[in-house]
């Protein structure tokens, strides 16, 4: 696999605010049939979920324990949205939806958490499936609310990266400016490659997913983006998925050597809540994400792996390590988070 030419620094920020939408009880009459829709937006990204309540080992859930999910209803009617049962408890909501479009639905919790641990749930509606996590504690005192920001975008936050095989360094700074594309706001980052030219990157966060507006296919293009090629919005991290959780980037038209075809990246969560030691510094709450680069030539149309790279993200610090393989590692040697 060809060496990566540039460091893609991944950032974002999160606010899980549920919109105030109209929801009707199943007792209301006036609609026949079953509602249809999705837990995802038009780009197939999971919509955010808001966790409410206090989840304690051995304590039966009450009416104060619930989750609010966002649903894109394509047609009104009766609905039932539920999760699997995990660690002794689950969530469910049902009713009759009068309107189509984006709606907020409350899923009431039932059961008794059995173990003190982070508990992952798969929520389903129609043919869509999304994930969220709940932290079960061992105390009746509510756990403090934590931000799950695995790449801060606050003004002037900055990182310095070094390469284990070379003397190259990369300085990255979050700019105070945003840019607007595809109906989204992106935070601009300035990347300085030592004696090389500087460039910019653009990132955003929605719910538990982090996005880049860029070229996910650069690995395949020897001379960079092809003439006329366009940037795309793609998710590079989901901080709510369990180990082995996967997703994919959009397909792009690329050139691998002299062969044309399509490329995509398959993302896999390799580890969550792990620790990582770099020199004398140990960082916790780390998510490891594998990026497997896939290519399908025009001749065969069959995707094959071209190699994989592992990215490591630390809560409230950001990208701290990229393992390129063959003992070639890019790592954060300094950071300032404002």
Which tokens go with 124?
A: 């389903």
Task: Write out the H or E segment, with its range, that includes residue 321.
Answer: strand 318-325
Cα separation, 188 vs 177, in Å, equals 6
pLDDT at 13: 25
Give the residue among 169, 168, 163, 218 at the shortest CA–CA distance from 1: 218
Q: What mean pLDDT do residues 111-134 have? A: 89
User: Over the stretch 78-92, which tens digit does the pLDDT of each residue have?
Assistant: 999 999 999 999 999
Q: Does residue 165 surpass a pLDDT of 50?
A: yes
User: Over the stretch 283-292, which tens digit does the pLDDT of each residue have?
Assistant: 888 999 999 9
pLDDT at 24: 29
Q: Does residue 26 surpass a pLDDT of 50?
A: no
Domains of the chain with CATH codes: 36-135 (2.60.40), 158-336 (2.40.360)
Per-residue confidence band for 313, with pLDDT thresholds at 50, 70 and 90: very high
Q: Does residue 25 surpass a pLDDT of 90?
A: no
- In angstroms, what CA-CA distances link 21 with 15, 67, 72, 130, 184? 18, 15, 12, 20, 22
Buried b (16+ CB within 10 A) or exposed e, 111-138: eebeebeebbbebebbebebbbbbebbe
Beta carbons within 10 angstroms of residue 20's beta carbon: 6
Q: Does residue 20 surpass a pLDDT of 70?
A: no
User: Over the stretch 173-220, which tens digit does the pLDDT of each residue have?
Assistant: 998 888 888 788 999 999 887 655 678 899 999 888 999 998 876 655
Beta carbons within 10 angstroms of residue 198's beta carbon: 10
Buried b (16+ CB within 10 A) or exposed e, 22-52: ebbeeeeeeeeeebbbbbbeeeebbbbbbbe
Give the residue among 269, 270, 315, 338 at the shortest CA–CA distance from 135: 315
Q: Does residue 294 surpass a pLDDT of 60?
A: yes
Q: Does residue 300 surpass a pLDDT of 60?
A: yes
Concatenated DSSP letters for 36-64? EEESB-TTSPBPPEEEES--BTT----TT
Angle at 279 between CA 274 and CA 282, to 5 degrees: 30
Position of tokens 């940037």?
231
Per-residue confidence band for 135, with pLDDT thresholds at 50, 70 and 90: confident
Cα separation, 87 vs 133, in Å, equals 11
pLDDT at 219: 59
Q: What mean pLDDT do residues 19-36 have? A: 48
The DSSP letter of residue 24 is B
Which tokens go with 325?
A: 């393989």
pLDDT higher at 118 or 74: 74
pLDDT at 207: 84
Q: What is the mean pLDDT of the chain?
A: 80
Global pTM reads 0.57
The DSSP letter of residue 249 is P
Q: What mean pLDDT do residues 254-280 have? A: 84
Position of tokens 């790279």?
309
Per-residue confidence band for 31, with pLDDT thresholds at 50, 70 and 90: very low
């Amino acid at each position: 696999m060809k060496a990566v030419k540039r460091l893609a620094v991944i950032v974002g920020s999160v606010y899980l605010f549920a919109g105030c939408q109209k929801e009707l009880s199943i007792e209301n009459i006036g609609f026949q049939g079953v509602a249809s829709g999705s837990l995802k937006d038009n780009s197939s990204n999971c919509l955010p979920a808001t966790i409410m309540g206090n989840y304690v080992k051995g304590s039966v859930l009450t009416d104060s324990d619930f989750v609010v999910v966002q649903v894109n209803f394509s047609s009104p009617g009766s609905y039932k949205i539920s999760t699997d049962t995990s660690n002794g408890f689950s969530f469910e909501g049902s009713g009759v939806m009068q309107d189509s479009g984006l709606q907020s639905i409350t899923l009431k919790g039932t059961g008794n958490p059995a173990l003190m641990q982070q508990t992952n749930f798969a929520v389903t509606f129609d043919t869509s499936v999304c994930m969220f996590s709940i932290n079960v504690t061992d105390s009746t005192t509510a756990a403090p609310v934590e931000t799950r920001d695995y790449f801060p975008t606050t003004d002037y936050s900055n990182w310095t990266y070094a390469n284990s095989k070379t003397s190259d360094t990369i300085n990255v700074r979050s700019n105070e400016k945003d840019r607007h594309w595809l109906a989204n706001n992106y935070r601009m980052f300035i990347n300085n490659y030592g004696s090389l030219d500087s460039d910019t990157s653009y990132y955003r966060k929605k719910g538990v997913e982090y996005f880049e507006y860029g070229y996910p296919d650069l690995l395949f293009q020897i001379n960079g983006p092809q003439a006329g090629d366009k940037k795309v919005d793609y998710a590079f991290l989901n901080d709510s998925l369990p180990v082995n959780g996967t997703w994919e980037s959009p397909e792009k038209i690329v050139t691998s050597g002299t062969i044309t075809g399509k490329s995509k990246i398959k993302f896999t969560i390799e580890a969550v809540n792990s620790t990582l030691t770099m020199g004398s510094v140990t960082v916790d709450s780390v998510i490891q994400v594998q990026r497997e680069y896939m290519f399908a030539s025009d001749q065969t149309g069959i995707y094959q792996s071209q190699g994989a790279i592992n990215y490591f993200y630390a809560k409230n610090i950001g990208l701290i390590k990229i393992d390129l393989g063959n003992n070639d590692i890019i790592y954060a040697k300094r950071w300032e988070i404002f």
